Each structure stands twice: as C-alpha cells, then as structure tokens.
C-alpha cells in the first residue's frame, strides 16, 4: 500500500473496500511499469475487470426501482419544503412542524438533509444561528432574503 501522510489517512473512511484494493493493485502496476520486476499481468487484468463489475453493479443500484422511488419521494418532499420557506429564516424543526401540520410526515433530520441539497442547488440559503441556546441551521428561500431587505 502506498504510504499516506497520517493526517490524510485519519480523514479516510476506516473501512477498506474492495474498490480501494483493486485501485491499489492497478496503482502498483502503474508504478512498477518499466521496472525490472516480475509481476503478474493476470492480477492487473483481474483488478481492471473487477472494477468494471463494481461500476456496473453501482449503476444498477442507482437505477433500481427502490432508488428511483426514493428519489421521487425526496423530490416531492423538497418541493414541499420550498413551498413552506419564505423570507423568514426557519430552523429544520420549524419546517418539519409546519409540514406535519399540513399532513406531510417528515422529521427535522430529513428536512435538514433535503434543505442541504437544496442549498447546494442554490434554491435555499443556509445560515447558522442560535435557537434555544444551541447552534442551529436556518433556511431561507433563495432570493427571498433580498426581497425582504428591499421591503424593509
């Protein structure tokens, strides 16, 4: 295994996956290319084939019925979150409570997860603040905060 700085290794996942092993094998072959060392070409070919199978398996997992259904459900919930948010910053718990009042079953962790994705897409703005003495994330509809400032 190639030597990695301690700090970099600490940030890596503790689980050593098959993908990581196959990538290490290929990296070793690339590093030894041209060197006067006898290496098994079959091992390299196996690693390349195994990575291709892993990629195929992961692609099937992404397009499975379960994954598609979850993505559709998340899109519906994200739309509901967008409908609730406005110029007033709301914490995840407040959004969840408002949605529950409308008959949508969702918890604050799911709201935070979906709102983070919406923030990455630029649809909502995430700010940090304090609520009940604890640090919390607050969500505002993108563009709504500038409209509120213009009115005020």
Residues 35 and 70: beta-carbon distance below 8 Å: no
Residue partners of 54: CB distance under 8 A and separation at least 6: 18, 19, 22
pLDDT of residue 40: 78
Any idea of the CA torsion for 112, 113, 119, 125, to the nearest 10 degrees? Answer: 0
Nearest-10 crossing angle of helices 108-120, 92-101: 110
At residue 59's C-alpha, the angle toward residues 116 and 51, to 5°, is 115
Q: Which two tokens stand for residue 93?
A: 């718990």
Strand, coil or helix: 124: strand
pLDDT of residue 50: 93
Residues 124 and 142: beta-carbon distance below 8 Å: yes
What is the distance between the alpha carbons of residues 123 and 143, in angstroms, rounded to a whole number? Answer: 8
Q: What is the CA radius of gyration of the chain?
A: 24
pLDDT of residue 54: 92
Q: Is the pTM of this model over 0.85?
A: no
Residues 132 and 125: beta-carbon distance below 8 Å: no
Note down pLDDT in tens along the chain; length 152 residues.
Answer: 444 444 454 555 568 888 898 898 888 888 887 777 777 788 888 999 999 999 999 888 888 888 889 989 999 999 899 888 887 889 988 999 999 999 989 998 999 999 999 999 889 999 888 888 888 889 988 876 544 443 44
How many other CB atoms are there within 10 angstroms of residue 81's CB atom?
27
pLDDT of residue 53: 94
């Amino acid at each position: 295994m190639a030597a990695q700085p301690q700090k970099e290794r600490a940030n890596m996942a503790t689980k050593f996956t098959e993908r990581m092993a196959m990538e290490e094998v290929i990296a070793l072959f690339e590093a030894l290319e041209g060197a006067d060392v006898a290496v098994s070409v079959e091992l390299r070919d196996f690693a390349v084939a195994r990575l291709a199978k892993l990629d195929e398996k992961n692609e099937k997992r992404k397009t499975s019925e379960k994954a598609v259904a979850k993505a559709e459900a998340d899109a519906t919930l994200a739309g509901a979150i967008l409908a609730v948010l406005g110029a007033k910053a709301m914490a995840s718990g407040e959004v969840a409570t408002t949605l529950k009042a409308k008959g949508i079953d969702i918890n604050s962790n799911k709201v935070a997860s979906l709102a983070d994705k919406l923030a990455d897409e630029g649809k909502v703005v995430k700010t940090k603040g304090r609520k009940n003495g604890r640090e919390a994330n607050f969500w505002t509809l993108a563009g709504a905060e500038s409209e509120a400032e213009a009115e005020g």
